[in-house]
Amino acid sequence: MTDTRTPPMNQGGSADAEPKIVILGAGPTGLGAGYRLKQLGYKNFKLIDRHDYVGGLAHSFTDDKGFTWDIGGHVMFSHYKYYDDCFDALMGDEYTLNDRESWVRMFDRWVPYPFQNNIRYLPREAAYDCLSGLIKAQTGQGKIKSHKDAENFGEFIDAVFGEGIAKHFMRPYNFKVWAHPPEMMNKQWIGERVAVLDIDRALKNVILEQDDFGWGPNNQFKFPLKGGTGEFYKRFGDVLREHLMLGAEVQSIDVDAKAITMTDGRTESYDILISAMPLDVLCKDMLTGEVPEDVRTTAAGLKHSSGHMVGVGIKRPCPSTKSWMYFPEENCPFYRVTYLSNYSPNMTPDKDAYYSLLCETSSSDHKPVDPGKIVEKTIEGLENSGLLEPGERDDIVSIWHHEVDYSYPTPSVERDGILAQVIPWLEQRDVYSRGRFGMWKYEVSNTDHTLMQGVELVNRLLLDEPETTIGLIYETTDDGREAAKHERSKNAGSGEKKLVGAGTKASG
């Protein structure tokens, strides 16, 4: 085996002289790593995925009725010039530019996002609850005196937003998204920025009856003109064609022999492995060789939620200009619905005659969902929340149901401790776990973050540059091991104007 531990590694020479890099997972993380390797002239690498397509969770599907669906509403808010340059290079001018228009559905009405700036839209009692709780919380008179005292996300919500917003929006909405009680989640993933809310603005908007929308010309997002979100990632796949090994499901990885075995019996050796598959599955089910039991059991403690994506195609002109909407109430199963047909004229068979709604529902042991009933429950929920008019279900011409086992990496209270143990152990064996479920950091798990996790890792391996997005720093401990410390990355966040009202990220 080639020694790989002293970067920068050989680059641009003959493939034989280069350590062999295998990338497990052809989603944005793996594609970002592969693209950067190719850009640096590196030749000796392979990109493996169990699916016969690239893109992972950012892939798009076109059904036989001609509707295109994403795996949940994907909105691209880039934090990186490199990512923007990739988009320009691969998409040219084949994109649409959309104004973000997001709403919250509650009390049988539409409340503009951000929620706490538009409390005036609520019934008076609820508006009073929200304002009074917000004032108490922000002046240290709430249940939890300060966000600094909060030990988990649940307490953070109470400390920052107060009881009213917590009761009417933050707690029910976040449970629907995360499928875990907020007390099981840490507060670090949100960051400090949300800790101080503008009470004066909230009050002024109620008393002066002002609208305060979080969207406008500065809040636009690009979307591929054809083929949905996945078209962008498909084009990375085209560039990397000669390195791709699709339809290859990894079954086991021998960390001592540095060899991968596929479910169909094929094998592949590596010097360096970049993995974007779920970290818990990697450690507990895949690794063979000398693997301490506590690495397996520790990684198995990571928590996640699953998701049901239900696309509903309707033979009517689109009735709305909205982009996406949040649903905290119990009269519908979904937490978010997107008017996907508003993102591009090519998402339905005919833009003037059809429109499409993409509905996302999460599930976990804490919030079970019956897969056999979710489609009907979704349609009922669309009716309950006023998105489908009475009788409109007769005009539904397409239903798309896609279930994902790993949808949201839960930022649980124990997460950072688990990562600090498992990630350095893997890296000492030349296994680099990155990406939405490879690094498990929701705060840096959108498409731009994950693609850049792949790019930055390659920059580290080949050019000796530090990784910044993952927010991990390695320090040598007294006993000589590498330990990971966590920092909030300067690139973390959703790209939202900021968080304010709706509290959690507006994108997935």
Contact status: 323 vs ligand FAD (CB under 6 A): no
Contact status: 212 vs ligand FAD (CB under 6 A): no
Which tokens go with 491?
């690139």
User: What single-letter amino acid sits at 30?
Assistant: G
Q: Within a 10 A sphere around the Cβ of 200, how many other Cβ atoms?
A: 8
441 within 8 A of 409, measured Cβ to Cβ:
yes
Contact status: 446 vs ligand FAD (CB under 6 A): yes
What is the b/e burial string over 448-458, where b = at least 16 CB atoms within 10 angstroms of the residue's CB? bbbbbbbbbbb
| Greatest CA separation for the chain | 72
Beta carbon nearer to ligand FAD, 59 or 168 = 59
Measured between alpha carbons, how far is residue 424 from residues 25, 240, 284, 485 in Å? 20, 29, 16, 10
Q: Within a 10 A sphere around the Cβ of 422, how many other Cβ atoms?
A: 24
Contact status: 75 vs ligand FAD (CB under 6 A): yes
Query: Least separation, in Å, of the C-beta of 327 and ligand FAD?
Result: 14
User: What single-letter amino acid sits at 64?
Assistant: D
Query: Least separation, in Å, of the C-beta of 437 and ligand FAD?
Result: 6
Which tokens go with 167?
């009761």
Of 43-51, 100-108, 147-155, 326-334: span binding ligand FAD (CB under 6 A): 43-51
Of 8-16, 25-33, 131-139, 146-154: span binding ligand FAD (CB under 6 A): 25-33
The site for ligand FAD, by CB under 6 A, has a size of 39
Contact status: 342 vs ligand FAD (CB under 6 A): no
Query: Using the 8-state DSSP alphabet, how is residue 474 labeled?
Result: E
User: What single-letter amino acid sits at 333?
Assistant: P
* Selected binder of ligand FAD within 4, 21, 22, 49 (CB under 6 A): 49
Beta carbon nearer to ligand FAD, 29 or 363 = 29
For 361, half-sphere exposure in the C-beta direction (CA atoms, 13 angstrom radius) is: 27
Contact status: 338 vs ligand FAD (CB under 6 A): no
Query: Least separation, in Å, of the C-beta of 295 and ligand FAD?
Result: 18
Contact status: 445 vs ligand FAD (CB under 6 A): yes
Residue that is written with structure tokens 């450690």 in the block: 283
Chain positions 267 to 286 lying near ligand FAD, rule: CB under 6 A, are 276-277
> How far, in Å, CA of 277 to CA of 298, rounded?
17
Query: Least separation, in Å, of the C-beta of 221 and ligand FAD?
Result: 9
Beta carbon nearer to ligand FAD, 121 or 326 = 326
Query: Least separation, in Å, of the C-beta of 132 and ligand FAD?
Result: 34
Beta carbon nearer to ligand FAD, 138 or 445 = 445
For 62-65, which contacts have Cβ atoms below 8 Å and span 24 or more sequence positions? Answer: 62/227, 62/228, 63/311, 63/313, 63/398, 63/400, 65/313, 65/349, 65/397, 65/398
Which tokens go with 17?
């002289």
Contact status: 25 vs ligand FAD (CB under 6 A): yes
* Selected binder of ligand FAD within 50, 316, 402, 460 (CB under 6 A): 50
Contact status: 76 vs ligand FAD (CB under 6 A): yes
> How far, in Å, CA of 77 to CA of 61, rounded?
21
* Selected binder of ligand FAD within 72, 313, 493, 503 (CB under 6 A): 72
Beta carbon nearer to ligand FAD, 447 or 504 = 447
Contact status: 57 vs ligand FAD (CB under 6 A): yes
User: What single-letter amino acid sits at 495?
Assistant: G
Binding footprint of ligand FAD on the chain (CB under 6 A): 24-30, 48-51, 56-58, 71-76, 249-250, 276-277, 307, 360, 404, 407, 435-438, 445-448, 450, 507-508
